[in-house]
Amino acid sequence: MPNTINENKDQTKDSNKYHNKPYFYSDDTSLLLEVVRNLRGKRCIEIGSGNCYILEELSKNFEIAVGTDLVKPSSKKNGVEFFLADRATCFRDLSFDVSVCNPPYLPSDSIDDIATDSGKDSEQVMKFTEDGMRVIKEGGSLYILISSLTNQKKIEEEWRAKGYNITQVKEKKLFFETLYVYRLTKENKK
Ligand SMILES: C[S@@+](CC[C@H](N)C(=O)[O-])C[C@H]1O[C@@H](n2cnc3c(N)ncnc32)[C@H](O)[C@@H]1O
């Protein structure tokens, strides 16, 4: 996994390998936007913010809204702070009230397109989840989008095995897949 934009890669029009173009607005962006419109708080992070459409919406209702991606957005959006960074690795534990992500969720043998390929066993989905959960405070939430193509049931089991409380908050059926947004919280320590 590259830890910065791959500007030296040989990019051709036909190749998406380690693409350095921001992710286009899509059905998944739109579904997650519907969820984040209702969120409020002090600090939030979007991990893998693409072209920052979701981050821009978050910035309306949070005092601080930061986003990270390995690819720079195509234009600067109002009210958002963007970091060219690997997931949330540059932030300390327990820094945010809310984290949000639409990770690369398609199962794949290798990572050819960092926007969509999750690798074997949905490796990227789990890495985004773990980082997203690490940076939220006690009582905070992670909102994450996955698809029926991600092997949703297996991911749910892995989340539960890590002790996360999970709630499905949104669903959208498309003709080739169903998209789901989940809210994950940390189990209360007694
Ligand atoms: C499915 S796209 C979602 C983009 C945007 N959040 C949206 O919903 O439109 C996944 C994003 O994750 C980014 N990404 C992939 N690996 C990453 C990593 N290790 N750290 C940060 N961002 C990453 C990709 O560049 C891409 O922008």
Report pLDDT digits (tens) over 19-57. Answer: 678 998 999 999 999 999 999 999 999 999 999 999 999
Residue with tokens 């998944």: 28
Rounded to two decimals, the pTM is 0.90
Q: Which of 54, 70, 86, 100 should be mutated for ligand 1, with most atoms under 8 A from CB?
A: 70
Which residues constitute the domain of residue 152? 27-184
Q: How many domains does the chain have?
A: 1
Whether residue 20 is contained in a domain is answered as no
Task: Report the C-alpha gap between 46 and 142 in whole angstroms.
Answer: 10
Task: Report the C-alpha gap between 150 and 156 in whole angstroms.
Answer: 10
pLDDT, tens digit, for every residue of 66-120?
999 999 999 888 888 999 999 999 999 999 999 999 999 999 999 999 999 999 9
Whether residue 17 is contained in a domain is answered as no
| CB 150 near ligand 1, within 6 Å | no
CATH number at residue 113: 3.40.50.150
Whether residue 139 is contained in a domain is answered as yes
Locate 95 and state its tokens.
């820094």
Q: Does 8 score more than 90 pLDDT?
A: no
